[in-house]
């Protein structure tokens, strides 16, 4: 078996590494950060099948995840919609999940180079998989903020609050914690930092009632993290012929709750093609070409759907339409949910 080197030990890189080790492939993962650590993420896993989790060999690490079965949506005034989720989602912190996967990868004989960033020159070589997550897009204006609340009553397993140029999702993770994650357009007038930033942005986008609820609870200050300068959609890289998985290939907006599922699914799609390469059945270029075309078929429809829905729910006109449809029980929620998976 030829060795595989994975740049990036996030969800996609670690799950692919585990699956390759399971098949006896020598794997090194370079991960720029150290574990365990909190990540900016809604930690709401929706859309990935049991088969994919089993194919990757990571099913057991999600077995104790919270089962999330209901959702409620709000605009700046009130609740507009509530329903059971068409399929149960999973709630587990990235702090716990990524750490578990990293430990398992090491236990399986994988070389985990924690705290080592692979230089960009090293990334475009045969046998190197790009799983480096969100690429930097300076000036995009997007800001992602997240923190865990230790005592917080939810009205549904997933609360989604639509604000002015921002939205906030809340859902349960382990140990009674509630994860609060928001996506916002940057505002010059908001100067708050650290844990105050999430509260200040929630209020600034017109979600004052939610902000008051958050202020009544207590947050874990160590769980406050933020990220900026990223974009959404398919990330074209005409200069690269290799395997790009997870957010490195395409980023679906967080309101879909599907980014982590896509990361896992892309690892699942890459696996057989990398095994072809590692066992000498196909060249790197052939394997990467097949992977890329399979990924296009698998992901393009949901990326297209998200591309038109996201600006819509971000605009006040779109929110009025969604609110009006929802209040009149006309929102085709199941249809939209399916289109994004
Ligand atoms: C605000 C927000 C909320 C979200 N909410 C949800 C949600 O509720 N549900 C959901 O499914 N998805 C959500 N997502 C998306 C989800 O977090 C991502 O889709 C997922 O983490 C992608 O996994 P990945 O493995 O591709 O990248 P990541 O998990 O980001 O991992 C990439 C890793 O690569 C490392 N790295 C980068 N460059 C290098 C290098 N040169 N060398 C070595 N290592 C490197 C990084 O340190 C990182 O650990 C959300 C995203 C945001 C911004």
User: What is the CB-side half-sphere exposure of residue 126 using CA atoms within 13 A?
Assistant: 11
User: Distance between CA 181 and CA 228 in Å, rounded?
Assistant: 13
Q: What is the mean pLDDT of residues 67-86?
A: 95
Backbone angles phi, psi at 327, to 5 degrees: -65, -25
Helix runs in the chain, H state only: 11-22, 50-56, 94-107, 195-204, 208-216, 259-278, 284-314, 316-327, 333-339
CB atoms within 10 A of CB 177: 22
Instruction: Give, as one character, the DSSP assignment of residue 135.
Output: P
SS3 114: strand
Tell how far the Cα of 144 is from the centroid of ligand 1, in angstroms: 12
DSSP string, 42-62: --EE-S--HHHHHHHT-GGGG
In the predicted structure, residue 120 carries a pLDDT above the cut 80: no
Q: What is the mean pLDDT of residues 274-283?
A: 98
SS3 274: helix
Q: What is the mean pLDDT of residues 142-147?
A: 97
Query: If one looks up domain 4-64+92-135+231-322+331-339 in CATH, what number appears?
Result: 3.50.50.60
User: Distance between CA 334 and CA 79 in Å, rounded?
Assistant: 18
Atom of ligand 1 nearest to the CA of 10: 31
Cβ pair 246, 267 in contact under 8 A: yes
Q: Whose CA is nearest to atom 50 of ligand 1?
A: 41
Cβ pair 94, 38 in contact under 8 A: yes
Name which of 25-39, 111-125, 222-236, 275-289 the model is least confident about: 111-125
The average confidence (pLDDT) of the chain is 94
Cβ pair 276, 282 in contact under 8 A: yes
Tell how far the Cα of 260 is from the centroid of ligand 1, in angstroms: 8
Rg of the chain over Cα atoms, rounded to whole angstroms, equals 20
pLDDT-above-70 percentage for the chain: 98
| Residue 108 CA: distances (Å) to CA of 37, 63, 224, 303, 334 | 22, 20, 32, 34, 40
Atom of ligand 1 nearest to the CA of 261: 11
| Residue-range domain boundaries for the chain | 4-64+92-135+231-322+331-339
Kindly give the pairing relationship between strand 233-234 and strand 66-74. unpaired
Q: Which of 260, 265, 266, 270 best tests ligand 1's pocket when mutated (most atoms within 8 Å of CB)?
A: 260
Per-residue pLDDT tens digits for 234-247 = 877 766 678 999 99
In the predicted structure, residue 209 carries a pLDDT above the cut 80: yes
**What's the pTM?**
0.96
Cβ pair 266, 246 in contact under 8 A: yes
pLDDT of residue 239: 61
């Amino acid at each position: 078996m030829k060795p595989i080197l994975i740049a990036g030990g996030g969800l996609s890189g670690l799950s692919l590494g585990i699956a390759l080790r399971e098949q006896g492939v020598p794997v090194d993962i370079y991960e720029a950060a150290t574990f365990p650590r909190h990540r900016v993420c809604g930690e709401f896993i929706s859309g990935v099948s049991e088969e994919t989790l089993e194919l990757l060999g990571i099913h057991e690490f999600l077995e104790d995840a919270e089962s999330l079965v209901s959702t409620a949506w709000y605009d700046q005034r009130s609740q507009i919609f509530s329903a059971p989720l068409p399929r149960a989602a999973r709630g587990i912190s990235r702090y716990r999940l990524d750490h578990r996967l990293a430990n398992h990868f090491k236990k399986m004989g994988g070389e985990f180079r924690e705290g080592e960033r692979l230089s960009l020159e090293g990334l475009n070589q045969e046998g190197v998989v790009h799983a480096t997550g969100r690429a930097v897009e300076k000036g995009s204006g997007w800001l992602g903020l997240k923190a865990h609340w230790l005592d917080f009553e939810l009205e549904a397993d997933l609360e989604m609050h639509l604000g002015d140029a921002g939205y906030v999702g809340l859902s349960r993770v382990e140990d009674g914690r509630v994860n609060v994650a928001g996506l916002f357009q940057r505002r010059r007038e908001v100067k708050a930092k650290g844990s105050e930033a999430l509260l200040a942005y929630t209020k600034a986008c017109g979600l004052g009632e939610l902000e008051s609820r958050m202020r009544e609870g207590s947050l874990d200050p160590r769980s406050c993290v933020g990220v900026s300068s990223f974009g959404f959609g398919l990330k074209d890289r005409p200069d690269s012929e290799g395997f790009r998985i997870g957010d490195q290939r395409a980023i679906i907006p967080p309101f879909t709750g599907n980014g982590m599922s896509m990361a896992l699914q892309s690892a699942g799609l890459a696996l057989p093609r990398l095994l072809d390469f590692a066992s000498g059945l196909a060249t790197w270029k052939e394997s990467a070409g097949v992977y890329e075309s399979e990924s296009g078929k698998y992901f393009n429809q949901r990326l297209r759907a998200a591309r038109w829905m996201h600006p819509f729910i971000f605009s006040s006109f779109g929110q009025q339409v969604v609110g009006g449809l929802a209040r009149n029980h006309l929102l085709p929620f199941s249809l939209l949910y399916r289109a994004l998976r």
